[in-house]
């Protein structure tokens, strides 16, 4: 396996537990106690995934996440947080985290989320490249190579998860997709969170591609099933 994971966690017992369990699973692990050292180590190495505590000293987890995303939009980042409110979790996901897990956690669940995040990342790496191809519906266009999204002539700024969700919807236009299908294909087959996260992210994408609510609707709700992307008739 030999995949590399960077842990940024200031609680030594938790960091050591993660190190032991992940190394037992075959991963190469490096751990740092604060955000500044974590950022320096991140830039020095090549990583397959980052486990990041939100409350680390020196440079907060969210600040470190923002810097990681400026450098790499695709590396999986899982947040470790003692904050259990939906607002805190949504903030982390909005900043580009792929997933979060609340302390205290069950190690088997964390390992499952790591596997899921790495599997999704590997799927992206092996997927056919579409560097010169635009996906589109109506006046919405998306370029996978440059990660550019346009609605008419206006640029749309999406987080990595929102972008992946929109890509999947565009690739399956006019196909009704259940929440479970979207979770499996966008979040990963091993994702163990609530399916309500799909509804939250659909709302985010809708608001961003049509913030004024004046444009033709593209993402439609199919009551009791899920969602479909198609041009309104």
- 123 Cβ neighbours under 8 A, 6+ residues apart: none
- Location of structure tokens 């907060």: 60
pLDDT at 193: 62
Question: Which residue has better confidence, 76 or 129?
Answer: 76
Give me the CATH topology for the region 134-229.
Arc Repressor Mutant, subunit A (1.10.10)
Q: What is the pLDDT of residues 115-165, one digit of tens each?
A: 988 988 877 655 444 445 788 999 999 998 788 999 998 999 998 889 999
Supply the DSSP string of 162-198, one letter for each residue.
HHHHHHHHHHTTT--EEHHHHIIIII-TT--S-THHH
Q: What is the pLDDT of residues 15-51, one digit of tens each?
A: 999 999 999 999 999 999 999 999 999 998 889 999 9
Supply the DSSP string of 48-98, one letter for each residue.
SEEEEETT-SSS-HHHHHHHHHHH-SSS-EEEEES---HHHHHHHHHTT-S
Structure tokens belonging to residue 2: 């030999």
User: Using 50, 70 and 90 to split pLDDT, how confident is the model at 78?
Assistant: very high
List the CATH code of the domain at 4-126.
3.40.50.2300
Range of weakest confidence among 60-74, 80-94, 161-175:
80-94
Q: What is the pLDDT of residues 86-129, one digit of tens each?
A: 666 677 777 788 888 888 899 999 999 999 889 888 776 554 44
Portions of the chain given CATH number 1.10.10.10? 134-229
Portions of the chain given CATH number 3.40.50.2300? 4-126
Q: Is the entire prediction scored with pTM above 0.95?
A: no
User: Using 50, 70 and 90 to split pLDDT, how confident is the model at 85?
Assistant: low
């Amino acid at each position: 396996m030999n995949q590399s994971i960077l842990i940024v966690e200031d609680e030594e017992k938790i960091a050591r537990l993660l190190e032991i369990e992940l190394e037992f699973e075959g991963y190469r692990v490096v751990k740092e106690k604060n955000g500044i050292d974590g950022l320096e180590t991140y830039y020095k190495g090549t990583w397959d995934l980052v486990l990041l505590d939100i409350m680390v000293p020196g440079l907060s987890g969210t600040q470190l996440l923002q810097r990681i995303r400026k450098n790499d939009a695709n590396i999986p980042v899982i947040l470790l947080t003692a904050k259990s409110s939906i607002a805190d979790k949504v903030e982390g996901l909005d900043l580009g985290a792929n997933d979060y897990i609340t302390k205290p956690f069950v190690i088997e669940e964390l390992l499952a989320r790591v596997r899921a995040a790495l599997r999704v990342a590997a799927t992206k790496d092996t997927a056919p490249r579409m560097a010169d191809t635009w996906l589109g519906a109506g006046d919405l266009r998306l370029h996978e190579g440059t990660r550019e999204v346009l609605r008419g002539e206006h640029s749309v700024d999406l987080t990595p998860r929102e972008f992946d969700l929109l890509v999947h919807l565009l690739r399956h236009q006019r196909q009704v997709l259940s929440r479970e299908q979207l979770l499996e294909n966008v979040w990963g087959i091993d994702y163990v969170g609530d399916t309500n996260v799909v509804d939250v992210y659909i709302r985010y994408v809708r608001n961003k591609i049509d913030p004024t609510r004046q444009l033709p609707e593209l993402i439609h709700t199919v009551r009791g099933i899920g969602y479909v992307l198609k041009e309104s008739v």
